[in-house]
Amino acid sequence: MRLGWRDLGTLRADRADGRPVEISGFPLAVLPAASTDHFLLMAEPGCCGGCVPRNRLAVVEVVAERPLELNAGALTLSGTWRVIDDREGWRYRLADAVAEAGPTRRALMAASALFCLPASTLAQAGEGLAVDIHSHAGNLNPMSFGRGQFAAVAEPMRQGGLAAICLAVVSDSPIIKLTDGRLRPSRDPRPGELYDHTQRAFGVLHELARQQGLAIVRTAGELSAARASRPSVVVSSEGADFLEGRIERLDEAYQRWALRHLQLTHYRPNELGDIQTEPSVQGGLTTFGAEVVRRCNRMGIVVDVAHGTYELVTKAAAVTTKPLVLSHTSLTERPAAWTRRILPDHARAVAATGGVIGIWPFSGFFPNIVAYADGMARMAEIVGVDHVGLGTDLLGLGGASALAGYADLPQLAAALRTKFNVAETDKILGGNYRRVFEASLR
């Protein structure tokens, strides 16, 4: 069985316990040595002993059958895979390892999400206070249709120092299909269809939280108290399609399901307004959309304008009395049809409300974690560091992610620390969203 570095921290790697596997990487001796039978394996070469990531899922401990030469660059090793239940040590060990024919450096780099950054910065992940402001973790979307099984959420959050995630059901899922290379509505929904689907999805979200011991955040104080040692969930909906034009359903979702974060639109132009990926037909935000924004402000629900057009955002900004969130996007300087990226004025309209713009790690724009941090820095140059956040869209991206999983968050923190000080890094990784959440729920 062949394992890659992106498999670490997933069920694929954990279920390989006791099986013969092959993995490629760069060796680093625990003590300086030209050859040894005990060393560490990483996705990229370490410049020194202090270059070992503190993320226990980013390193494999190797115990070889006999001493191996470590000065030849990358190694391909085969051996018996062991999953170690030891929070103080590495998660994975390759026992009885022997060397095989080696890989190319290019192949390793293409598969790697790790970088040679100082170990002192790798510990920085918001002091366990980080918040992902848009996520579909845990296999939530397929499970909303009764497919598959839940994936681990709480443990990767603890490993990465992530205190809370805005976990989103997708209200228009039943009618959205990939058409002509982009996600589009395939038909009009039947009356009650999107409401019924979203009710089931909210129930699945609560069951996931119950099974994995994730606390449900209902108040600003509960998010303020959230820590990675006991991760929490902010119940979110991507799209308000479940309302089907009935404002009282917002009250129901707030009371029954603890909805505290609502994205107005998704991939269907709905009763609230227009979206970036379809022709505009409603002039941005509708009258009903404005009513929903006002009701969210009064009730204590964060208003998320992701997927909405620039016209929707500017109208929402004129209506809202609380900061807006645009949970997952990235900056572009060039207008393009049907893009989910935003221009500087679009970003400034959100920031002007005191809000936060979450940057997503889509590998088509950001091929690795360092590039992802660069994207956050570019947004900060436009709107200021107080208005940038982490919006991974985990398990919802339409392609590969530069951030393979929550356990890699310390490496993102390290990359950010090459551009921002500790306080600024903490703001981006969670502090800014915590501020907006508190303001929204007052």
Tens of pLDDT along 333-392? Answer: 888 888 999 999 999 999 999 999 999 999 889 988 989 999 999 999 999 999 999 999
Q: For residue 137, what are the β-bridge partners?
A: none
Can you give the pLDDT at residue 147?
92
If one counts every other C-beta atom within 10 angstroms of the C-beta of residue 161, the result is 25
131-186 pLDDT per residue, tens: 999 999 999 999 999 998 999 999 999 989 999 999 999 999 999 998 877 899 99
Strands 130-135 and 75-83, by their bridges, are unpaired
> Which pLDDT does position 114 carry in this prediction?
41
Give the whole-angstrom CA distance, residue 119 versus residue 100: 30
**pLDDT confidence tier of residue 107, bands split at 50, 70 and 90:** very low
pLDDT of 435 higher than 60 = yes
- Partnered with residue 364 across adjacent β-strands are none
Q: What are the chain's domains?
A: 5-112 (2.40.50.870), 126-441 (3.20.20.140)
Take residue 245 and report the two structure tokens written for it.
């034009």
Q: How far apart are CA 111 and CA 8, in angstroms?
A: 12
**Rounded to two decimals, what is the model's pTM?**
0.75
**Residue whose entry in the numeric block shows the structure tokens 């809370």:** 164
Per-residue pLDDT at 124: 40
Half-sphere exposure of 81 (CA within 13 A, CB side): 19
Instruction: Give the rounded percent of residues in the chain with a pLDDT score beyond 90.
Output: 67
* pLDDT of 54 above 80: no
Share of the chain above pLDDT 70, in %: 88
147 half-sphere exposure, CB direction, 13 A CA radius:
4
CA dist 139 and 157 (Å) reads 15
List pLDDT tens digits, range 191-236. 999 999 999 999 999 999 999 999 999 999 999 999 999 999 999 9
Give the three-class secondary structure for 135. Answer: strand
Residue 15 neighbours by CB under 8 Å, 6+ apart:
none
